[in-house]
Amino acid sequence: MSNPIIYNDRLPIDILVEIFGLYRINETPDIPLETLLLVCKSWNTAALSCGALWGMLRIFVSHEPVMKLWRSRLPLRLARSGPSTPLDIVIVVRFGRLMSRMMESPECLEESYHSPCSHCKCVGKRERFVQWTLDTLAGENGELCKRWRSLHIDLGTWLYRIDPHQSEEDGILLRGLTYPTPTLTKLQMNEQSFALTPPGSTYRILPYAPVLQELDIKKCNLPGLLPLQSVKKIRISNVNWSYSNTVWRPAKPPRIISLCDAISVESLSLVVAKAQNFQLGSVYPKLTHIELVGTRLPLNISNCIMPHLRHLSIDIGYSPMCRELVMSCPELLSQITTLEVWIHDSWQPSYPLEELRGTFLEILHIASVSLTSFRSIEVVISIVLKWLWESGHPSHSGNSQKKLEFKQKLVISKWNSDRELKGDESPADLEKLAQELPGITTPDQDWNTLITDLEIYVDRLSEC
């Protein structure tokens, strides 16, 4: 049999670069990039000469053997990347079954064997390791931060396993995020907490990030504002948490997060919760897409000038926010051409039928002037078709319900299934359309059937 190494030696460098790039994207903790160095001499030489290969750092923080491995591997990767290669950084904390058994010490295996829900001593070491990792990636006096292109930090639920004897000042201060990052374009943080040392100090996260384009923050406690002037895509689900011993609770009073500086934003996704709200500015000249989830609208949204806003995605599971949208933002609704409607697990079975019908129907009435595309889940599409069907059957809707008509041709979407409504469909046409879309209830069904379907859908969400 021919020696495969001979053929590997003959591969041109451009082909090797393509292979290395695919390998880099699909790197796993069990099969790291360093495996390429062991294939043959030519691959070793080519890999070491390709600085961009080592610029993507996917660091999965797990048990002690993995952390020990990265303490020797990370400095080598930074050296192999060269002096100017952009750095794309991913730091993710993962314990348990997501990691290979080969990456656990005998003590970890013994602990999980006796109690699958227990956690080994490695959990308590991950904060120090994450701090060391970011300090190493920052370099001396933040010199390496100048090369950061993207940063994704996800500490997962392990962040909340705080020692009961710790004080609030004993958490993590990620010093690496306090240096200038002039080339950073994307920042994603999940379940991240920042403590200030010494107590009472103030730090600003990313004090200089002039080309930041994308910001995704979820369940983080930030000590200061982020630079938003250049950001085009913002997604924030930021519940400001404080802790006392092991008891977690929303911070009081509710925190107001200012987005007044986000003058370049094109896509804005906000989750408004009881512990926080958002303060919008007066003008967003480039905003085209907005997503609203939670219990209320952002502050000042009714006074915002958003001339190019055309896409609205909204959670109708909490009626007060929907009523507020109808009452205070009719101009916003009337300029929407694409509407996405979802129901999250905030909806409760006690949500009155008339309230659901009235508020959601009013949103559709106001938006019907410009609306050309509507996307939602099966049960909500069934409700819309039911209203259109009743508009063609006035005897079924009663005298109090407004007739629902769309001024433009409307494309109704359910995942990958699209159907166009021209506006002149008869009740029979709507019944046929419902039969063509999988999961859609025919509009001749009574309202109780639709609400039961809605309850089943929300119950499934709660189980996930």
Residue 402 pLDDT more than 70? no
Residue 346 pLDDT more than 80? no
Instruction: Looking at mean pLDDT, say which of 99-108, 170-179, 240-249, 320-329 comes out highest.
Output: 320-329
Q: In sequence order, which ranges of 255-352 are alpha helices (DSSP H)?
A: 319-328, 330-334
| pLDDT of 313 | 93
Instruction: Looking at mean pLDDT, say which of 32-41, 178-187, 404-413 comes out highest.
Output: 178-187
* Least confident piece of the model among 25-39, 55-69, 73-87, 341-355: 341-355
| pLDDT of 198 | 45
Average pLDDT over residues 168-196: 72
Query: Taking Cα atoms as reference points, which of 259, 326, 315, 249 lies closest to residue 287?
Result: 259
CA distances from 93 to 46, 70, 153, 155, 379 (A): 31, 13, 9, 5, 37
Distance, CA of 142 to CA of 133 (rounded, Å)? 13
Q: How confident is the model at residue 185 (pLDDT cuts 50, 70, 90)?
A: very high
How is the chain split into domains, by residue range? 1-49, 312-464
The tokens for 261 are 């500086």
Do β-strands 241-244 and 247-250 pair in parallel, antiparallel, or remain unpaired?
Answer: antiparallel
Residue whose token pair is 């041709």: 409
Residues 6+ positions from 361 with CB-CB distance below 8 Å: 387, 401, 402, 404
Helix (H) or strand (E) holding 277: strand 276-279
Average pLDDT over residues 375-393: 82
| pLDDT of 286 | 96
Residue 245 pLDDT more than 70? no
pTM: 0.81
Average pLDDT over residues 133-142: 90
Average pLDDT over residues 363-382: 87
In DSSP terms, 193 is beta-bridged to 221
* Least confident piece of the model among 34-38, 83-87, 441-445: 34-38
Residue 230 pLDDT more than 90? yes
Distance, CA of 96 to CA of 44 (rounded, Å)? 33
Residue 460 pLDDT more than 80? no
